């Protein structure tokens, strides 16, 4: 989708280039995080995509087209742009702000009005309430939401985001990050996201580009960056607790194990046989292969000889979803005082199980490879 080929940017002939022979490929629908210390060239890299900064040499392609040949105005109208200070126009209402690009594109009034309302709703801002407000009447978080809505207005395939959540307090920032990830699931934009916060990069990114002195130090998925930092610079950037950070990235669906089903009428002996053949210590119990009654554990089976499992089945209780992070599962386990937790993506169904051992193993495995 976006491709850099040996791109160089020099602000000054004598100085070291801000971006040095950069090669980069950003796939369609990916969030690509550019991360690194100030002056590493990440913002310059991003701004070369919409030609706010002109590359000194090298080529940048969007969808195979050399952007040098595209008129900058036309190029920018199809690329959403969000910056840290929001850059909202203070003299215009929220609706007018969001309508900026659609207006430039010559949409008709009704279409613009509907689009503005749709975006405000997407951003969790009540259109009735916010449409006619001015930016100064909004909180920092609300302004940033409007900033994102404005960038999305004409439904551009690409979004450039320059530390969009950088000026917000940690709680609002976390909330907006979660919201944005949820929205991205729906809209699937190709996003280039600049940040200096490695935790934000790990949380938001499909791919992470770690930059230093205008060069790419490492390019990879968050798990790759965490488990195999390319050098000391990257390790230092990640900081300590990389195992704990890994737990934030990995989801239940990555490590959960499937559990066999048995009928409620199964005898204890038969159930024990099933459980020993599997690699788990629990069985799910169903009625007529349809309704989920609950579970039995290996311990319960030993204590209840010569019975059918339906007699002592226990309800499932609290579950995690396949998308719950390992960190949250661990904290649920502590809260519930249990060593196992069932994973359920839908009510009345269990997809698998995660145990404390699974968690330890998941983290330890990655530890050994580093």
Partner 1 sequence: MKTLEFAIERWETILGLTIDHFEIVLTAMVISITMGVLVGIMITYNKTAAKIVLNIANVMMTIPSLALFSILIPLLGIGRAPAIAGLVLYTQLPIIRNVYTGIMNIEPSIIESARGMGLKKSKIMFKVKLPLAFPVIMTGVRTATVMGIGLGAIAAYIGAGGLGQYIFQGINRGNDKMILIGAIMVSVITVVIDRGLAFVQKRFEI
Binding residues (CB under 8 A) for partner 1: these are: 50, 52, 72-79, 81, 83-91, 100-101, 104, 134, 136, 147, 150-151, 160
Residue whose CB is less far from partner 1, 106 or 240: 106
Residue whose CB is less far from partner 1, 19 or 151: 151
CA atoms within 13 Å, Cβ hemisphere of 22:
40
Q: Are 284 and 262 in contact (CB under 8 A)?
A: yes
197 DSSP assignment = -
Residue whose CB is less far from partner 1, 53 or 122: 53
Burial of 232 (0-12, 13-18, 19+ CB in 10 A): exposed
Residue whose CB is less far from partner 1, 154 or 259: 154
Query: What contacts 123, CB < 8 A, 6 or more positions away?
Result: 145, 146, 148, 149, 179, 183
Helices within 205-316 (DSSP H only)? 222-227, 232-238, 242-249, 252-255, 268-277, 298-303
Residue whose CB is less far from partner 1, 162 or 366: 162
In the complex, least distance from residue 218 CB atom to partner 1, rounded to whole angstroms: 28
What is the rounded radius of gyration, in angstroms, for the C-alpha atoms of the chain? 26
In the complex, least distance from residue 186 CB atom to partner 1, rounded to whole angstroms: 22
In the complex, least distance from residue 157 CB atom to partner 1, rounded to whole angstroms: 14
- What's the CA gap between 217 and 294, in Å, rounded? 50
Residue whose CB is less far from partner 1, 88 or 208: 88
In the complex, least distance from residue 85 CB atom to partner 1, rounded to whole angstroms: 4
In the complex, least distance from residue 32 CB atom to partner 1, rounded to whole angstroms: 18
- Torsion sign (Cα): 245, 249, 252, 256: negative
In the complex, least distance from residue 105 CB atom to partner 1, rounded to whole angstroms: 9
């Amino acid at each position: 989708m976006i491709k850099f080929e040996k791109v160089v940017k020099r602000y000054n002939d004598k100085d070291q280039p801000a971006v040095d022979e950069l090669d980069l490929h950003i796939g369609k629908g990916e969030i690509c995080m550019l991360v690194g210390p100030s002056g590493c060239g990440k913002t310059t890299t991003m701004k070369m995509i919409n030609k706010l900064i002109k590359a000194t040499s090298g080529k940048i392609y969007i969808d195979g087209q050399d952007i040098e040949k595209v008129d900058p105005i036309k190029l920018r109208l199809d690329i959403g742009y969000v910056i840290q200070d929001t850059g909202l126009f203070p003299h215009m209402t929220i609706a007018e702000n969001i309508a900026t690009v659609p207006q430039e594109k010559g949409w008709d009034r009704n279409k613009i009005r509907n689009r503005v309302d749709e975006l405000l709703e997407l951003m969790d801002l009540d259109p009735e309430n916010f449409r006619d407000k001015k930016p100064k009447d909004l909180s920092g978080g609300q302004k940033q939401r409007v900033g994102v809505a404005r960038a999305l207005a004409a439904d551009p395939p690409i979004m450039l985001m320059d530390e969009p959540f950088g000026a917000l307090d940690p709680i609002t920032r976390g909330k907006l990050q979660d919201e944005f990830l949820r929205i991205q699931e729906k809209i699937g934009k190709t996003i280039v996201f600049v940040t200096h916060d490695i935790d934000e990069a790990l949380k938001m990114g499909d791919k992470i580009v770690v930059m230093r002195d205008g060069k790419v130090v490492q390019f990879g998925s968050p798990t790759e960056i965490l488990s195999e930092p390319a050098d000391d610079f990257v390790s230092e950037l990640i900081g300590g607790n990389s195992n704990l950070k890994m737990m934030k990235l990995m989801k239940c669906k990555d490590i959960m194990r499937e559990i066999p089903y048995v009928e409620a009428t199964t005898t204890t002996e038969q159930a024990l046989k099933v459980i020993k053949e599997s690699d788990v210590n629990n069985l799910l119990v169903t009625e007529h292969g349809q309704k989920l009654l609950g579970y039995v554990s290996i311990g319960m089976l030993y204590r209840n000889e010569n019975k059918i499992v339906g007699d002592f089945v226990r309800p499932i209780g609290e579950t995690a979803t396949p998308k719950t992070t390992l960190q949250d599962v661990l904290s649920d386990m502590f809260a519930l005082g249990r060593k196992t937790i069932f994973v359920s993506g839908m009510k009345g169904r269990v997809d698998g199980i995660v145990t404390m051992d699974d968690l330890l193993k998941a983290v330890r495995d990655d530890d050994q490879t580093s």
